[in-house]
Amino acid sequence: MSARESILRRLRERADGTLPIPEADFSVVTGRGWSQEERLQRFEARISSVHGEVIHASTDEWVVALREMLQTKGVTRLGLGRDHPVASEARAALQATGIELVDAGRDIETWSREQFESLDAGLTSTRGGIAETGSLWLWPTPDEPRRLSLVPPLHIAVLDAEAIEDTFFDVVERHGWAGQMPTNALLISGPSKTADIEQTLAYGVHGPRELVVLIRH
Amino acid sequence: MNVQTFTPQAFHRQAHDALGNPQIRSNFRRAMDGLMAKRRDAFGDWDIETLRDLGANIRLRALAKLPDLLEQLEANCQANGIRVHWAEDGEQACRIIRELCEARGARHVIKGKSMVSEEMHLNDHLEAAGIEALESDLGEYLVQLNEQTPSHIIMPAIHLNTEEISDVMHDRTGTERTIDVDYLTAAARAQLRERFMAADVGISGVNFAVAETGTLCLVENEGNGRMTTTVPPVHIAVTGIEKVVEHLRDVPPLYALLTRSATGQHVTTYFNMISGPRKPGERDGPEEVHLVLVDNGRSSIYQDNELLDTLRCIRCGACMNHCPVYTRVGGHTYGTTYPGPIGSILMPHLMGLEATKDLPSASSLCGACGEVCPVKIPIPDLLVRLRKEAVGEGRGNVEGAGVKRDRKEVLAWKGWQWLATHPGAWRAGAGVAGKFRFLSPSRLGPWTDYRTAPKPAATSLHAMVKQHRRKLEREDEK
């Protein structure tokens, strides 16, 4: 008998018989009823408390804020996609700035080390935000692959204010995640961190040292 | 740093050593006090009892449907392109993983944090086959550099202070001696980035495996879990069979409970949900994803209605952080993969009661572990159950049951029972004991290490009451 069959048989032929199936009441993880104003405040308070940096900008002028931020931080090589409106608008606005725009939508085998060693920042869109925990949700695409939000030392995430919802549970339910899970779905809540050395918080242990959330209104 | 080997058989000696080690005492005390305060704050604005009930019911539903959910998980993972393997024990799981590595000609494996892999001693197994297995979680990396095992399931290097870590890193990797945590962290980042690039295979654990969608969820702060599951061409996830949940909607409440209970965080930096290898057209991610489902004693725990609750565990470590024993003796003292209260109710099933007979007794039964458990595992009841199993009163379906059964003790209790149910004999015995009380020993083994030995009273309570009554009767007669 295979391991699979014998494990399943032991579980099915349980000595103490079948188990009752309890009801689960999910009301505690939903129904917050926050206004958009409250959602925004909560999101910002939470993500700031874990060293996420928030920049507010208008939907029309956000690329100006992006450009200023990149120049302040001294970014010279920025990884980004091509197709997503966030990427294409950013590309148009950063043309003559001297910042090198690095195409992230390439097969990773052709530029893995380059991505590890020479990118200053990665720019991605986000699908939305979660107010309760100050989280971003991302479904990486061929245009903005998984490593773009992970490998460069600075991650810039663009978020629309109205895409912030109350709780993780609400997001999973309202957007029907269960019926359409992508290869990789991510929640990101701040820059990479560790407290493994004597509980002292340090940022940027493996992933980005800095996370900037550019919120568009 | 000297390498020590800890075993559950030597629990008492190890506990004695740890209690006399001020470094261990202060490292754990400080860390656990901080974690307890942070957990309390993190649940501050929650209806925590309702949330814990929800967590418990989600886990109980998953266990009630366990065989069906495992099959559903397998089918959905396979539909997503994840290959699923089953292992009856740790040895078999190690072999499956080694063979997967060998099939790819892998020499370098990078690992994300996985307690199951610790449980089955995967690193030793791979190294014996000439495959290097490097831990990438910072705490695990430090513990591995120091040739130790984790002392906490969430914070593996909690027993080391910064100076000790600086020394280890200096000795093993040539970094400067410093207590600058940012420098040490940055040095580890640089060292490990090279290793991520060079790794042939990434091995991770799983926090929740979702049957409905064939999704593997990983909870972390550092990003090493995402690196491990994204950078190498092959990702092997290894998990106990009990980690499955039914629906995707079951995940948010468990995640909310896990991070708050473990480290007092409202959320971790990353929640990584993997539903397959790289699809055609995608630009990065592994070409192959494997899931290894490990039984290793879990299906026998599953047989028993009471012991079953052990399998609800979501591995947050809150029971350790709040345990007055763990806080004082630290994680290594237990000599087992999982230390603290959860270890004391889980390890006897994995290793047998003979090796672990002292663990269920390593508790004052104060109840803190059960009170903080996010999925309401009645840990104190399970500790008592295993104590009963150890002295041979239980149903005996735990391996090694009866190991602590002592014929003399059984006889003594039988004698006691007879005496206590025969008043005449009891009174006669009490009278004799009172007369010869000078003969009663002043030392009664370890019991009198911290207590004075009891002495039978010169006059028993029965006799005193009798005398008192007589006196009252005489006064009435007057």
Q: Is the pLDDT assigned to residue B23 strictly greater than 50? A: yes
Identify the band that residue B76 occupies on the pLDDT scale cut at 50, 70 and 90.
very high
**What pLDDT is recorded for position B442?**
86
Same domain, B179 and B94: yes
Q: Any CB–CB contact under 8 A between A204 and chain B?
A: yes
**B246, B210: one domain:** yes
How far is the C-alpha of B55 from the C-alpha of B208, rounded, in Å? 13
Q: How confident is the model at residue A46 (pLDDT cuts 50, 70, 90)?
A: very high
Is residue B280 located within the same domain as residue B319? Answer: no
B264 interaction partners in chain A (CB closer than 8 Å) = none
B255, B133 contact by CB (below 8 A): no
- The residue among B271, B296, B321 that closes a domain is B296
Confidence of residue B116 (pLDDT cuts 50, 70, 90): very high
CB of B189 within 8 Å of a chain A CB? The answer is yes
Position A70 scores a pLDDT of 98
What's the pLDDT score for residue B394? 59
Note whether residue B352 is domain-resident.
Answer: yes
Q: State the complex-level ipTM.
A: 0.98
pLDDT in the model for residue B441: 87
Total number of domains in chain B: 3
- Partner-chain contact A190 B269, CB within 8 Å: yes
Residues B167 and B137 in one domain: yes
Q: What is the pLDDT, as a whole number, of residue B431?
A: 86
Asked whether the beta carbons of residue A202 and residue B197 sit closer than 8 angstroms, the reply is: no
Per-residue pLDDT at B4 exceeds 90 = no
pLDDT tens, B326-342?
Answer: 999 999 999 999 999 99
Q: B267 vs A135: CB contact, 8 Å cut-off?
A: yes
Residues B14, B73, single domain; the answer is no
CATH of domain A34-216: 3.40.50.10420
Instruction: Residue B118: give its domain's CATH number.
Output: 3.40.50.10420
Q: Which residues contact B465 (CB under 8 A, 6 or more apart)?
A: none
Q: Are B60 and A19 contacting, i.e. CB atoms less than 8 angstroms apart?
A: yes
pLDDT at position B462, please?
83
The reply to whether B391 and B445 lie within a common domain is no
pLDDT in tens, B297-321: 999 999 999 999 999 999 999 999 9
Instruction: For residue B417, tell me if it sits in a domain.
Output: no
**Residue B189's pLDDT band (cuts 50, 70, 90):** very high
A74, A136, A124: which is closest to A99 by C-alpha? A74
Q: What percent of chain B has pLDDT over 70?
A: 99
CB pairs under 8 A between A and B: 257
Indicate whether B385 pLDDT > 50: yes
Supply the DSSP string of A141-186, one letter for each residue.
-SSS-GGGGTSSSEEEEEEEGGGEES-HHHHHHHTTGGGS--SEEE
- The model's confidence at residue B3, banded by pLDDT at 50, 70 and 90, is low
Residue B200 lies in a domain: yes
> Least CA distance to B304: which residue of chain A?
A16
Q: Amino acid letter at B384?
A: V
Helix-helix angle B138-145:B162-173, to 10 degrees: 70
Q: Which of B350, B379, B405 is the last residue of a domain?
A: B405
- Is B232 inside any structural domain? yes
Q: Find the mean pLDDT for residues B181-199.
A: 96
Instruction: Assign B444 a pLDDT band (cuts: 50, 70, 90).
Output: confident
Residue B1 scores a pLDDT above 50:
no
CB contact under 8 A, A169 and B188: no
Q: Establish if B343 belongs to a structural domain.
A: yes
Burial class (CB in 10 A: 0-12, 13-18, 19+), B392: middle
Which sequence spans correspond to the domains of chain A? 34-216
Cα dihedral value B414, B419, B420, B426, nearest 10: -160
The distance from CA B363 to its chain's CA centroid, rounded to whole angstroms, is 14
Task: Note whether B13 and B24 are same-domain residues.
Answer: yes
Q: Which residues contact A179 (CB under 8 A, 6 or more apart)?
A: none
Residue B395 pLDDT greater than 80, yes or no: no
Separation of alpha carbons B359 and B345, rounded Å:
8
Q: Does A176 touch chain B (CB under 8 A)?
A: no
A146/B138 CB distance under 8 A: no
Q: Is some CB atom of chain B closer than 8 A to the CB atom of A106?
A: yes
The pLDDT of residue B132 is 97
DSSP H or E segment with residue B69:
helix B66-80
Question: In this structure, is residue B301 part of a structural domain?
Answer: no
Of all residues in chain B, the one with the smallest CA distance to A46 is B266
Q: Which residues of B touch A196 (CB under 8 A)?
A: 137-139, 142, 155-157, 222
**Average pLDDT in chain A:** 97
Contact check, Cβ <8 Å, B57/A24:
yes
Cβ atoms of residues B287 and B234 within 8 Å: yes
Q: Chain A residues with CB inside 8 Å of B87's CB? A: 3
Which of A6, A10, A11 is the best substitution to test chain B (most B C-beta atoms within 10 A)? A11
Domain assignment present for residue B164? The answer is: yes
Residue B278 lies in a domain: yes
Tell me how close the Cα of A198 comes to any Cα of chain B, in angstroms: 5
Q: What digits encode the pLDDT tens for the residues A162-197? A: 999 999 999 999 999 999 999 999 999 999 999 999
Give B-chain residues touching A6 at CB under 8 angstroms: 88
Last residue of a domain, one of B254, B277, B296: B296
Q: Looking at the structure, do residues B61 and B182 belong to the same domain, yes or no?
A: yes
Residue B2 has pLDDT above 50, yes or no: no
If asked whether residues B217 and B264 sit together in one domain, one would say yes
Nearest CA in chain A to B151: A196
A118 contacts chain B (CB < 8 A)? no
The verdict on B184 and B86 lying in the same domain is: yes
- The CATH number of whichever domain residue B23 belongs to comes to 1.10.1060
Q: Scanning the structure block, which residue is given the tokens 């990078």?
A: B110
Portion 56-75 of A in contact with B at CB < 8 A: none
Q: Does B185 touch chain A (CB under 8 A)?
A: yes
Mean pLDDT of chain B: 95
Write out the residue range of the structural domain in which residue B22 sits: 1-42+307-405
Structure confidence at residue A19 as a pLDDT band (50, 70, 90): very high
Q: Is A51 on the interface with B (CB under 8 A)?
A: no
- B171 and B277 in a common domain: yes
B163 in the same domain as B16? no
Q: What is the pLDDT of residues A95-114, one digit of tens each?
A: 989 999 999 999 999 999 99
